[in-house]
């Protein structure tokens, strides 16, 4: 008998509340798209949307079709009702570690990971471009547990030192003021052997998008007409998604200064090489040694089919 995931932690902060999953009623063909953050979530939601609707004729924009269930700012009953009335195959977003999830053997879990240093660079843009009213929404909404989300520091190096060396939860050692990217990846890596959990890597998706999208379709058992593939791959390219950013970005991009154009920022890797010093990379090395097994770290940094 396979060892199955169990929820061992409750994750509640300014952004999310893992207990919201207690009220979710799964269907046998549900899909959960999981990442820590800034690791290809929106891209993967778009991919799954186009696989399910290869003609691109969505009933609603992908960000609405695929709600972030654990996020606090949309009332839980609204999210659950949205999912309840959907007649198509459902795909739900989460940023929870697997040890915070209510696991179901019925669901297919599609997890996407990205090198922590690339995640950080994307998070810096995300954090520094958030509108002031969004901070107020996260911090003032009743029911928040723990500290407020502070304004982004002015200096990227100051943010790096905190993010890579300080945890937001007692059992985490990086990720402040959000949550740990490293522990999140490790929690899913530990159960990569399960047939309904499949790990994908952002670098692989960038280097050969069609190969990885076909792997996603195979894992989800979606039969795509061969003549639809060229259109799907074009539609999920970064250039095309950025052109139609309002269709894909959460809340149409309204949470960020500059809108969807800001949210769909670069989509590239290795920008950290021109930013982080050797001393700062030593902090990264120490964080990885605390949070990751060697095999998980090797995959997180380099990718490769699991």
- Topology, domain 18-302: Rossmann fold (3.40.50)
Q: What is the mean pLDDT of each run of 10 residues along the chain (306 residues)?
A: 87 98 97 97 95 94 93 96 97 98 96 97 92 93 96 96 98 98 98 97 96 98 96 91 73 61 64 95 98 98 95
Instruction: Output the pLDDT for position 238.
Output: 82
Using CA atoms, how far apart are residues 279 and 169, in angstroms rounded to an integer? 25
User: What residue ranges do the domains of the chain occupy?
Assistant: 18-302
Q: In DSSP terms, which residues pair with 224 in a beta bridge? A: none
Instruction: Output the pLDDT for position 63.
Output: 86
- Count the Cβ atoms, other than its own, within 10 Å of residue 142: 5
How many CA atoms does the CB half-sphere of 265 hold within 13 Å? Answer: 22
Instruction: Output the pLDDT for position 213.
Output: 98
Instruction: Output the pLDDT for position 86.
Output: 97
Q: In DSSP terms, which residues pair with 256 in a beta bridge? A: 130
Instruction: Output the pLDDT for position 1.
Output: 46
50 within 8 A of 56, measured Cβ to Cβ: yes
Render the burial of 152-162: b for 16+ CB within 10 Å, e for the rest: bbeebeebbbe
Using CA atoms, how far apart are residues 184 and 175, in angstroms rounded to an integer? 10
Cis peptide before 177 (omega within 30 of 0): yes
* Nearest-5° Cα angle at 244, 238 to 247: 110
Using CA atoms, how far apart are residues 100 and 97, in angstroms rounded to an integer? 5
Helices (H), 115-155: 116-128, 132-140
The torsion of the CA quartet 172, 178, 183, 188, rounded to 10 degrees, works out to 140
What one-character DSSP code corresponds to residue 169? S
Helix (H, G, I), strand (E, B) or coil at 34: strand
**CA distances from residue 15 to 31, 153, 206, 273 in whole angstroms, order as listed:** 22, 18, 28, 29
**pTM value?**
0.93
């Amino acid at each position: 008998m396979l060892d199955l995931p169990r929820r061992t932690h409750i994750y509640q902060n300014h952004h999310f509340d893992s207990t919201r999953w207690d009220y979710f009623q799964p269907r046998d063909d549900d899909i959960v798209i999981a990442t820590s953050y800034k690791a290809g979530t929106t891209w993967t939601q778009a991919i799954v949307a186009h696989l399910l609707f290869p003609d691109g004729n969505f009933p609603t924009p992908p960000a609405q079709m695929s709600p972030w269930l654990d996020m606090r700012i949309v009332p839980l009953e609204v999210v659950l009702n949205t999912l309840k009335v959907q007649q198509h195959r459902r795909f739900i977003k989460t940023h929870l570690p697997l040890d915070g999830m209510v696991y179901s053997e019925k669901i297919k879990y599609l997890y996407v990971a990205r090198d922590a240093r690339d995640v950080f660079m994307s998070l810096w843009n995300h954090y520094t471009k958030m509108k002031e009213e969004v901070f107020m929404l996260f911090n003032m909404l009743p029911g928040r547990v723990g500290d407020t989300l502070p304004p982004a520091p002015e200096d990227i190096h100051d943010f790096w030192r905190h993010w890579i060396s300080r945890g937001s939860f007692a059992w985490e050692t990086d990720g402040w003021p959000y949550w740990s990217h490293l522990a999140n990846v490790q929690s899913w890596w530990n159960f990569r052997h399960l047939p309904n959990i499949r790990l994908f890597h952002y670098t692989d998706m960038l280097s050969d998008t069609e190969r990885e999208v076909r792997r996603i379709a195979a894992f989800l058992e979606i039969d795509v007409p061969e003549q639809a593939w060229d259109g799907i791959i074009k539609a999920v390219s970064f250039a095309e998604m950025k052109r139609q950013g309002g269709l894909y970005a959460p809340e149409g991009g309204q949470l960020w200064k500059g809108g969807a154009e800001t949210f769909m920022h670069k989509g590239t890797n290795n920008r950290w090489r021109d930013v982080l010093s050797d001393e700062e990379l030593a902090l990264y090395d120490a964080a990885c040694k605390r949070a990751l097994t060697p095999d998980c770290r090797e995959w997180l940094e380099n990718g490769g089919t699991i």
